[in-house]
């Protein structure tokens, strides 16, 4: 088997600030290991503020102060190029961005410049990578839009003339026009209505299958993961706490937090909202000792307060970080 397209190991990234002489360190990503294989959709889930966006910013090297990488590495094995994201030069990074690696940021529907026609965004991002004449380039863009069932007319529109769903489709078209080997998408459908969301997800799925790209798809919406992703990583409090094939994770979660996430999924027809998790998300400036989930965990015991559980393989391709994973009830 070939090497994974993405290898993340021991990654640690903190927000470090000093204000009024008080130093603060938000441990948003702590010792994360994960791999993404060629051609798969890897889902990243977890509650708000658990560090999903920070993790992928670190992976894409979209790092700005006060975010700092303290340890670990991020390596992409592209078809003919291996690149260490934190060791690479600016030029190397610029050369792969959009061409090999596309990053659709959270809230990026608004990335399109409101006073310029959509066409300019394509020119700015993709023209130099595609390296053809302007006319040929625009033909390629139009063909790509058609493939994604978008009218090439959108090129002449201003962003505000497009609906939210259309803007998101355009953003995805933009991110895929150079046929990148790797696509990272952070909550690309969160703001959309369910009908439009379904259409956008289908679009992401089909473009991914067509290009054969690998995808990291971030969303807190577990229903989206259930329907779209091949493998799933669950984050809690800055750590990856479970990972496995999406179907396995749903069928037999091995971490109490995952079990809760699955049990709390709302279903149309529920008479009352499901119970939310008691207690607050961990304060990552001062995370709980031991297992970060222990203050909210129904299975917690003494050891959980003292020691951080290591990620352990519990079934083929299925890992979790919990001392009592054998006691986790299937949903």
Partner 1 sequence: MSAPLLEVDGVRRVYSSGGLLSRRRVVAVDGVDLRLDEGQPEIVTVIGESGSGKTTLARMILNMVSPSAGAIRFRGTDLSAVRGTAARLAFMRQVQPIFQNPFEAFNPMKRVDRYLFATARHMAGLAAPADIEAAADRALRDVGLSLAEVRRRYPHELSGGQLQRVAIARALVSRPALLVADEPVSMIDASLRASIVSLLRGLCVRTGVSIIYITHDLATAYSVSDRILIMRLGKVVESGPARTVLDDPQHEYSRLLKSSVLSPEVPSNGAFFHA
Ligand X SMILES: Nc1ncnc2c1ncn2[C@@H]1O[C@H](COP(=O)(O)OP(=O)(O)OP(=O)(O)O)[C@@H](O)[C@H]1O
Residue numbers at the binding site for ligand X (CB under 6 A): 15, 26, 28, 46, 48-54, 66, 106, 220, 284
Is 283 an interacting residue with respect to partner 1 (CB under 8 A)?
yes
Please report, as residue ranges, which positions from 295 to 314 form the binding site for ligand SF4 (by CB under 6 A): 297, 299-300, 304, 309
Closest CB 52 distance from ligand X, rounded Å: 4
Provide the strand spans (E) within 187-264.
214-218, 231-236, 239-245
Q: Which is nearer to ligand X, 15 or 78 (CB)?
A: 15
The Cα–Cα gap between 168 and 118 comes to 12
Closest CB 190 distance from ligand X, rounded Å: 9
The Cα–Cα gap between 178 and 241 comes to 34
Q: Which is nearer to ligand SF4, 178 or 300 (CB)?
A: 300
- Residue choice 53, 58, 214, 219 for contact with Mg ion (CB under 5 A): 53
Is 293 an interacting residue with respect to ligand SF4 (CB under 6 A)?
yes
Q: How far apart are the first and last CA of the chain?
A: 34
The Cα–Cα gap between 173 and 203 comes to 9
Is 318 an interacting residue with respect to ligand SF4 (CB under 6 A)?
no
The Cα–Cα gap between 264 and 248 comes to 18
Is 120 an interacting residue with respect to partner 1 (CB under 8 A)?
no
Distance of CA 159 to the CA centre of its chain: 25
| String marking each residue 66-105 x if it binds ligand SF4 according to CB under 6 A | ----------------------------------------
Q: Where are the alpha helices (DSSP H) in 60-184?
A: 90-96, 118-130, 134-147, 164-176
Cβ atoms of residues 61 and 85 within 8 Å: yes
Residue keyed to tokens 């046929």: 179
Chosen from ligand SF4, partner 1, ligand X, none, partner binding at 89 (C-beta under 5 to 8 Å by type): none
The residue ranges that bind ligand SF4 (CB under 6 A) are 255-256, 291, 293-294, 297, 299-300, 304, 309, 322-324
């Amino acid at each position: 088997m070939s090497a994974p397209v993405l290898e993340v190991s021991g990654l640690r990234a903190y927000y470090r600030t000093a204000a009024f002489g008080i130093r603060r360190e938000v441990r948003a990503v702590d010792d994360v290991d994960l791999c993404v294989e060629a051609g798969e959709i890897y889902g990243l889930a977890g509650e708000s503020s658990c560090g999903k966006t920070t993790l992928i910013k670190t992976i894409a090297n979209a790092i700005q102060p006060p975010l700092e990488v303290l340890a670990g590495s991020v390596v992409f094995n592209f078809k003919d190029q291996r690149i260490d994201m934190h060791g690479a030069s600016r030029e190397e990074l610029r050369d792969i961005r959009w061409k090999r690696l596309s990053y659709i940021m959270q809230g990026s529907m608004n990335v399109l410049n409101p006073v310029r026609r959509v066409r300019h965004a394509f020119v700015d991002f993709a023209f130099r990578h595609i390296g053809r004449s302007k006319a040929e380039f625009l033909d390629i863009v139009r063909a790509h839009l058609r493939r994604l069932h978008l009218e090439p007319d959108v090129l002449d529109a201003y962003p505000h003339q497009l609906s939210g769903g259309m803007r998101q489709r355009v953003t995805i078209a933009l991110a895929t026009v150079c046929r990148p080997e790797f696509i990272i998408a952070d909550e690309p459908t969160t703001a959309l209505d369910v009908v439009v969301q379904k259409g956008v997800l289908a679009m992401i799925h089909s473009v991914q299958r067509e290009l054969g790209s690998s995808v990291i798809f971030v969303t807190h919406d577990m229903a989206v993961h259930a329907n779209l992703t091949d493998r799933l990583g669950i984050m809690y409090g800055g750590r990856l706490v479970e990972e496995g094939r999406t179907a396995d994770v749903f069928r037999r979660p091995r971490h109490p937090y995952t079990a809760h996430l699955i049990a709390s999924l709302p279903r149309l027809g529920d008479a009352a909202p499901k119970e939310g998790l008691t207690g607050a998300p961990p304060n990552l400036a001062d995370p709980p000792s031991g297992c970060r989930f222990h203050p909210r965990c129904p299975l917690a015991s003494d050891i959980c307060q003292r020691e951080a559980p290591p990620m352990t393989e519990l079934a083929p391709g299925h890992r979790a970080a919990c001392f009592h994973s054998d006691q986790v009830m299937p949903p």
